[in-house]
Structure 1
Amino acid sequence: MKGQEWYQATEVAEEYEEKRFSRGGRLIDRREKQAVLDAIGPVEGKRVLEIACGTGRFTVMLAERGADIVGLDISAAMLQQGRHKARNAGVADHLEFMRGDAARLPFPDDHFDTVFAMRFFHLANTPASFLSEMRRVSKDQVFFDTFAGPSTRSLYNWLLPMGSRLYSLEDVQKLLGETGLSLVDSDHDWVLPYGFYRKIPDVVASRIRDMDTAIGDTMIGDQLASVSYWNTSVE
C-alpha cells in the first residue's frame, strides 16, 4: 500500500480530519457520507464491514443508524481516533474497531451483508487482491470509490508526494470481472479535485461546488468527473 508508514503515524491521525474535512473539505465529507448512505440504504440490523475505516467517519455514522458494524484499519493511531469519536457519539458499545490487514481479512466467507471501502483503492498496489477479499466476506454487497483518470485528478496527482492510482471505466470493469462482482449502479462526481476544495473557505467552496455540480449534470459530466462511486453485488 502506498503511504502505509505515513498513514500510521500518530500525528497524521490526530490532524487527519482537520486537514481534509475543514473549510471547503466539509463539502467532501457530506458528499461521501451521502454516497455511502445512498448505496447501502436502510442499515438497521445489517451486518456491515468497513475496510480502511481510518478515524471512523462512516463507521460511527452507520452505528448511529443501527448497523451492526465493524471498522477495520491497519493504523492503530487512526483507530484510536475512531474510538474517541464513537464514545463522543454514544455508540462505542454498538460497533467494533479492529486492527487488521485488508489483504487478509480475519472473517469467514459470506460473513457480512455489506462490505465497503472509501478513500482506499487509490492507494492499492494490487487492487484485485483487496477487492477479492471484500467479495469473499460479503454475501450481498460491495461498495467502493475510486479516483478517475483521465480527469483533473491527473493534474493534481503531480503535486502529491505519494500520488494516487487512477481508474478508468475499463479498469473497474476488469476488476469486477476478476473478482466475481456485478455492477449494480455507479455515480460520478467532482469535476474539480478534492484538494482544490480543501484550500478554500466554506462560502467560496459552496459557490464553486454549485458550478461543479451543474457541469456534472450535463451530458459530459461523467467523463469529466474525478471521483466514482461503485455499487456492486456478489455473483
Structure 2
Amino acid sequence: MKGQEWYQADDVAEEYDDKRFSRGGRLIDRREKRALLEAVGPVEGREILEIACGTGRFTTMLARRGADVVGLDISAAMLRQGREKARRAGVADHLEFLRGDAGRLPFPDDHFDTVVAMRFFHLADDPEGFLREMRRVASDRIVFDTFNRFSARSIYNWALPMGSRLYSKSEVAVLLAKADLTLVDVADDFLVPYGLYRAIPNALAAPIRAADEAVGALPTADHFASVSYWTARVR
C-alpha cells in the first residue's frame, strides 16, 4: 500500500506510535522534537498550525509549552488518537484537531505565527503548491523536513516503495524561492536510515546513533544525511 493510503488506514492509526516510535524509534522521536523546537524558537503564546499532525505527538508537545495549536490531518483515525493524547496530557484546551486537506488549507491568510509540517513533505503531490499554502497562512515562518536524495534513504525507498519523494538541497532551494520564502536555517541529520532504528532495541540503537552523530559532525557528512529540517521566513 502506498504512503498516503497506508497512513490513513484505521488499523495503522491505532498502532502508529508503537510501530514508529518504540524500540530504537524513540531516538528518532526525541531528535525530531528537538529539531522542531530549535526551528520554531520560543512557542509560548504563539499560534501554530501543524499540517499532517497524525497522532499529535508534536501538537501535544507544543501545547505543553504554552502554544495555541491547531492540528490538521486527513485521517480521522489519526485525529481520534491525537485528541485522546491531548486529553491525557491535560492540554486539550490549547489544542484543536481538524480534518482537512494540506493542499487547500481552510484558514485565512496570515492566520498563524508559524506553520509546521513534519514527516509529510515527502508525500506531497504538489510540493510547490504545498509550500505556497503554508506560506499563505503563516505570518512569520514555516518549518518542514525532507528526506534527501543523496543518502542511504534512497536504498530504503528502493527496498520499500511507499511513494515517497526524495529531494536534493538545490531542489528545495528552488521551491522556497518559487514560494517567495527566505531560508533561515537547515539542519541535517541521520546518516543511518530511520528504518534501521525502528527495527532494533533501544540498547542497540543507542551506540549506532552515537556513531551516526560522530560521523555526521564531520565537515562533508551533511551531504549524505538522510533528513534535513528546514526553517524559512515569510518575506
TM-score (norm 2): 0.98
Matched, 1:197 2:174: no
Q: Encode CA deviations 1:93-125: one digit per residue, 9 max, x unaligned.
A: 111000000111011000100001000011112
For 1:16, give the aligned amino acid. Y
Q: Secondary structure at the match of 2:159?
A: coil
Q: Encode CA deviations 1:126-173: one digit per residue, 9 max, x unaligned.
A: 111111100000011000000001110000111213142001011100
For 2:80, give the aligned amino acid. Q
Match of 2:83 in 1: 83
Give, in whole Å, the separation in 1 of the partners of 2:4 and 2:153.
Answer: 21
Give, in whole Å, the separation in 1 of the partners of 2:55 and 2:104.
Answer: 21
Match of 1:125 in 2: 125
Give, in whole Å, the separation in 2 of the partners of 1:146 and 1:161.
Answer: 16
Q: Secondary structure at the match of 1:42?
A: coil
For 2:51, give the aligned amino acid. I
Aligned length: 234
Match of 1:65 in 2: 65
Matched, 1:46 2:53: no
Give, in whole Å, the separation in 1 of the partners of 2:194 and 2:20.
Answer: 9
Q: Secondary structure at the match of 1:101?
A: coil
Give, in whole Å, the separation in 2 of the partners of 1:142 and 1:41.
Answer: 12
Q: Secondary structure at the match of 2:191?
A: coil
For 1:144, give the aligned amino acid. F
Give, in whole Å, the separation in 1 of the partners of 2:4 and 2:166.
Answer: 18
Which sits farther off after the overlay, 4-13 or 172-181?
A: 4-13
Deviation at 1:44, TM superposition (A): 0.7
Match of 2:14 in 1: 14
Match of 1:147 in 2: 147
Give, in whole Å, the separation in 1 of the partners of 2:102 and 2:128.
Answer: 12
Q: Encode CA deviations 1:41-81: one digit per residue, 9 max, x unaligned.
A: 11110000000000000000000111011000000000000
For 1:7, give the aligned amino acid. Y
Q: Is the 8 A contact 2:183 2:233 kept in 1?
A: yes
Matched, 1:225 2:225: yes
Q: Is the 8 A contact 2:3 2:164 kept in 1?
A: no
Deviation at 1:224, TM superposition (A): 1.4
For 2:213, give the aligned amino acid. T
Q: Is the 8 A contact 2:63 2:91 kept in 1?
A: yes
Among all aligned residue pairs of Structure 1 and Structure 2, give the percentage whose two residues are the same amino acid: 68
Q: Which runs of 5+ in 1 are unaligned?
A: none
Give, in whole Å, the separation in 1 of the partners of 2:128 and 2:43.
Answer: 27
TM-score (norm 1): 0.98
Deviation at 1:221, TM superposition (A): 1.4
Give, in whole Å, the separation in 2 of the partners of 1:211 and 1:69.
Answer: 36
Match of 1:188 in 2: 188
Q: Is the 8 A contact 2:51 2:72 kept in 1?
A: yes
- The alignment's C-alpha RMSD in Å is 0.9
Give, in whole Å, the separation in 2 of the partners of 1:55 and 1:33.
Answer: 14
Deviation at 1:27, TM superposition (A): 0.2
Match of 2:167 in 1: 167
